[in-house]
Structure 1
Amino acid sequence: MPDTMSFLHDLGWSDLPPLAQIRVKMSLLDLIAIAAGAQDTQLTRIIADHAVAQFGGPHPMVFDARTASHAGVALALGMRIDSLDGHDGFNPSKGHIGCSLFPAALTLAQVRGASGAEFLATLAMGYEVGARAAIAQHASAPDYHTSGSWGAVAAAAASARQLQLSGAQTRHALGIAEYHGPRSQMMRCIDHPTMVKDGSGWGAMTGVSAAFLAQAGFTGAPALIVEDAPDVWADLGQRWYVTEQYFKPYPVCRWAQAPIEAALALRRAHGFAPGDIASVEIESFHACIRLATANPEATDEAQYSTSFPVALALLHGDIRPEHLSDAAITDPAAQHLSGLISMREHDHANAAFPLTRLARVTITLFSGQRLTSDWHEPRWDYTAPPSPDEISAKFRAYAGPVLGPARTRAIKDCVDDLEHRDLAELGALLFAPV
């Protein structure tokens, strides 16, 4: 694996094309936005307490006054981000690279004293590794596993780079991470939404642990999804998958976002009120229909639903983190409207999935009028991405209420100019309590 090892350890920030550099920074800012917005979720509290109690150590935790081990820091941050489902993702993986990668890279790079440019290059490398690991795993495994499974390999690659492991040690780190990565069944959490979510925190923790084990002489090579899938890895350093990540305008499962756009298009075009709606029918792909929790009792259920976010969108014209708190989801108007929604599969949408997520919505009003949308895709796909200004606005909307305007502005300025700064400047803003 000489070319892969060279890419993992030697990729520099200046080696990236300009668009890839822009997207790395957008993803970084977006991940921080979600971490801030998730401050008050029950999952965030539980996993942070767990990291301190069971993964104790001297290293700072994000937006927390306490400390944990590197593995504990990565676990807590990965699960924290996962607790508010608004972070970037990758269509072919049916999952998210950054949620496992960023926590692993951040905790080790901060302690190493890495430059901002080195940290950004590590993230860029990790997105490329994670994308290919995901594609290879999906092609070789019959079950649909969570992002943490292949995300563990990306986290191990970032950790190996920050620990400056040898090529042989890195090879073992990737193998250990692949072997011990959480091969958790994603559709189980879709059918029964709970706090286990997308396994990303466990992937981050596994990747960090794998690198330290390899450094100590623990063996685990090969990583089959790296070494036994040469066609997937042949374009490493040529095709930049970091430019093919989508972003989320709403903090709910990506599968629910095409129906949201279809419903909002009808709301804008016809101007009806929520009380005018007699019924709503959603046509989409199989996995979207499996998000079947109509009347959630907790935020995790609300985020892994199709009907409830559509109801929120029809009520508010938008979906924001405050609409998804455990207290807010008891809103009788949202619960009632969600109960009016039915869903069915459509062959057209199934054929397009997972590279394209399609949905069509029909709303019947009490007047008897039937309104049917066109087929819609989620907003902010990589083929029609948000601008940096739009991601900045999202960052302010999510982080501002939690961190305050001064700290929010300082983080944004630091990320914008991070290649010319030390990572410690950003770390001082992230590794401090709220």
Structure 2
Amino acid sequence: MTSTTTRAGATRAVAEYAAGMRFEDLPASAIEHAKQAILDCIGIAVRARFDAESSGPIARAVGGLGASGTCTGIGHGAIYPPQYAALLNGAYFHTLDYDDTHVGGSLHPAAPIVAAGLAMVEESGASGAALLRGIIAGYDVIAHISETASAKVHYDRGFHPTATAGTFGATAAIYNALDGTADQIENAFGINVSQAAGSLQFLENGSWIKRLHVGLTAHNAVLAYRFSQAGVVGSSKALEGGSGFYHAYSDGVDPDAYLDRLGKPHAIEETAFKPYPSCRFTHAALDELVAMVLELDLKPEEVESVRIALPRTGMDLVAYPEAYKRAATSVVDGQFSMYFLAAVAILKRRFGWDDYGLLGDPRIAALVQRIRVEEDPEVEKLYPRMAALVELRARGKSLRRLSDTPKGEPERPLTWEEIIAKFDDLAGVAYAPARRERIVQLVRGLDRAADVRALTEQLGA
């Protein structure tokens, strides 16, 4: 693998790293994690395609763009050009807020990277190993750029790192999978810097735009690849330049600070799969609440009060403004309301996609009145760990638990069996058991597949 160097700048160093990654150098654990990420995305996309209110309008809009092709939109078929397959699948991968997370980068790496990589590898007829290698390279790039830019500062400015850093990561995935050079990647990054976008303003009204962020990110990566391959000259020093990504999207960044850590370990091995379809900042609290209710066999009416403490970044996403977050009415509102999610966990002793049907339920409203969500210095000092402190009082007794490792993190990973069970639960809305079993087999054998189209042929309507 090509070593990183700062001699020609950070952009060049990241491009050289992405171009230099070879499949034979990758640990088996990273390859297996990439397979799991693909299966996880497919299950999420199937459920989103058939069961999310935003999917119909997004699909109609993409279909109305007028172009046809041979790339697969999951749940639709091989009818799209790669940029629109990437757009549609990327949006679906992120729609349920059930896709994987990377703590250091505070983002969702799989959705933009798998969407872009899968579309371009399908079009080219490249191998499963090429797709897996590209995904791993893309994860390393997206996480590195977000961490270097300081995810907290980025969030405070109102940006969504999955969408902004994701444009570079998805482009790196395409180029690595298709054997691109460092020169080509560096030039494409110079196009990405004028594409990177994604505003947190969606939190104001439960907008669907966060879902579309990721689709547009994957789409833009395909465009960057196309333009760069056609000879369009991108901006130099896309990351470290005076108006480059780090200066425009953050403050006080040292572009070279983390270059020596690229791939050590691979970011995909630091990534968590989600057991709940909600903002990752809510998961540690949900883990503890479900455990407490089950442990004590509590009925909802026995819960006297709950106090949940989160880091400030998490509070901004799932607890502020308090009055709005207490009164979630849409699925997006619910995905970003610690109050709603905690109430459901108490009532149902779990949380799954179908539980958004409880929005507006008077039992949830009653429980929300007994829940407080606050900042706490004990939790704040653990950031960027997505920690939570939960204090529950019931039957006159109090329980207190602090967790900085929600289920799904590398220290508490989901097993293959759990990931397959999640896939079956989500994809079962449209895919029969035999088809789901075949998809699992094909994903698990991707490192030996000469052509990914055996898999994508299974992913239509």
Same fold (TM over 0.5): yes
Q: Extract unaligned runs of 5+ from structure 2.
A: 1-7, 242-253, 320-324
Deviation at 1:375, TM superposition (A): 0.6
Determine helix, strand or coil for the equivalent of 1:35: helix
From 76, 91, 95, the equivalent of 2:88 is: 76
Residue 323 of structure 1: aligned partner? 355
Separation of aligned partners in 2, 1:143 and 1:128:
23
Determine helix, strand or coil for the equivalent of 2:392: strand
Q: Judge conservation of contact 1:97–1:131 (CA < 8 Å) in 2.
A: yes
Q: Identity, % of aligned pairs?
A: 24
From 181, 188, 210, the equivalent of 2:224 is: 210
> What is the count of residue pairs matched by the alignment?
425
From 409, 415, 424, the equivalent of 2:443 is: 415
Separation of aligned partners in 1, 2:97 and 2:145:
22
Separation of aligned partners in 1, 2:166 and 2:421:
28
More deviation, 193-202/242-251:
193-202
2:336 aligned with 1:309, yes or no? no
Deviation at 1:232, TM superposition (A): 2.1
Q: Judge conservation of contact 2:126–2:178 (CA < 8 Å) in 1.
A: no
Determine helix, strand or coil for the equivalent of 1:297: coil
Residue 359 of structure 1: aligned partner? 388
Separation of aligned partners in 2, 1:205 and 1:179:
14
Separation of aligned partners in 1, 2:262 and 2:375:
37
Residue 230 of structure 1: aligned partner? 256
2:265 aligned with 1:252, yes or no? no
Deviation string 1:266-307 (CA, Å, 9 cap, x unpaired) is 212221101223332212222333313223221111111111
**1:91-240 to 2 correspondence within 5 Å?**
91-138=103-150, 143-146=157-160, 147-162=162-177, 165-182=180-197, 184-186=198-200, 188-197=201-210, 199-225=213-239, 229-240=255-266
Q: Judge conservation of contact 2:140–2:262 (CA < 8 Å) in 1.
A: yes
Separation of aligned partners in 1, 2:237 and 2:63:
31
Residue 75 of structure 2: aligned partner? 63
Q: Aligned letter for 2:143?
A: A
Separation of aligned partners in 2, 1:278 and 1:417:
51
Determine helix, strand or coil for the equivalent of 1:202: helix
Determine helix, strand or coil for the equivalent of 1:403: coil
Separation of aligned partners in 2, 1:340 and 1:384:
30
Q: Judge conservation of contact 1:136–1:225 (CA < 8 Å) in 2.
A: no
Deviation string 1:6-29 (CA, Å, 9 cap, x unpaired) is 543453322211221221112222
Deviation string 1:141-180 (CA, Å, 9 cap, x unpaired) is 5625211100000111123345555543321211211221
Residue 405 of structure 1: aligned partner? 433
Q: Judge conservation of contact 1:55–1:72 (CA < 8 Å) in 2.
A: no
More deviation, 65-74/98-107:
65-74
Q: Judge conservation of contact 1:285–1:357 (CA < 8 Å) in 2.
A: yes
Q: Judge conservation of contact 2:133–2:177 (CA < 8 Å) in 1.
A: no
Deviation at 1:200, TM superposition (A): 1.6
2:291 aligned with 1:265, yes or no? yes
Q: Judge conservation of contact 1:263–1:313 (CA < 8 Å) in 2.
A: yes
Give the root-mean-square deviation of aligned CA atoms. 2.3
2:346 aligned with 1:333, yes or no? no
More deviation, 227-236/420-429:
227-236
Q: Aligned letter for 1:419?
A: D
Residue 274 of structure 1: aligned partner? 300
From 400, 405, 415, the equivalent of 1:373 is: 400
Separation of aligned partners in 2, 1:4 and 1:181:
17
Separation of aligned partners in 2, 1:241 and 1:166:
21
Q: Judge conservation of contact 1:176–1:223 (CA < 8 Å) in 2.
A: no
- Distance change (3 Å), C-alpha of 1:17 and 1:95: same
Length-normalised TM-score, structure 1: 0.91
Separation of aligned partners in 2, 1:160 and 1:166:
8
Residue 56 of structure 2: aligned partner? 45
Determine helix, strand or coil for the equivalent of 1:56: coil
- Distance change (3 Å), C-alpha of 1:404 and 1:169: same
Determine helix, strand or coil for the equivalent of 1:360: strand
Deviation at 1:107, TM superposition (A): 0.7
2:84 aligned with 1:54, yes or no? no
More deviation, 99-108/27-36:
27-36
Q: Aligned letter for 2:379?
A: A
Separation of aligned partners in 2, 1:25 and 1:119:
10
More deviation, 52-61/248-257:
52-61
Deviation at 1:261, TM superposition (A): 1.6
Q: Aligned letter for 1:220?
A: G
Residue 36 of structure 2: aligned partner? 26
Determine helix, strand or coil for the equivalent of 1:272: coil
Q: Aligned letter for 1:297?
A: T
Q: Judge conservation of contact 1:311–1:338 (CA < 8 Å) in 2.
A: yes
Q: Judge conservation of contact 1:171–1:221 (CA < 8 Å) in 2.
A: no
Deviation at 1:353, TM superposition (A): 1.1
Q: Aligned letter for 2:83?
A: A
Deviation string 1:232-252 (CA, Å, 9 cap, x unpaired) is 222334431111001111110
Determine helix, strand or coil for the equivalent of 1:231: coil
2:374 aligned with 1:344, yes or no? yes
Q: Judge conservation of contact 2:18–2:182 (CA < 8 Å) in 1.
A: no
Q: Judge conservation of contact 1:176–1:220 (CA < 8 Å) in 2.
A: yes
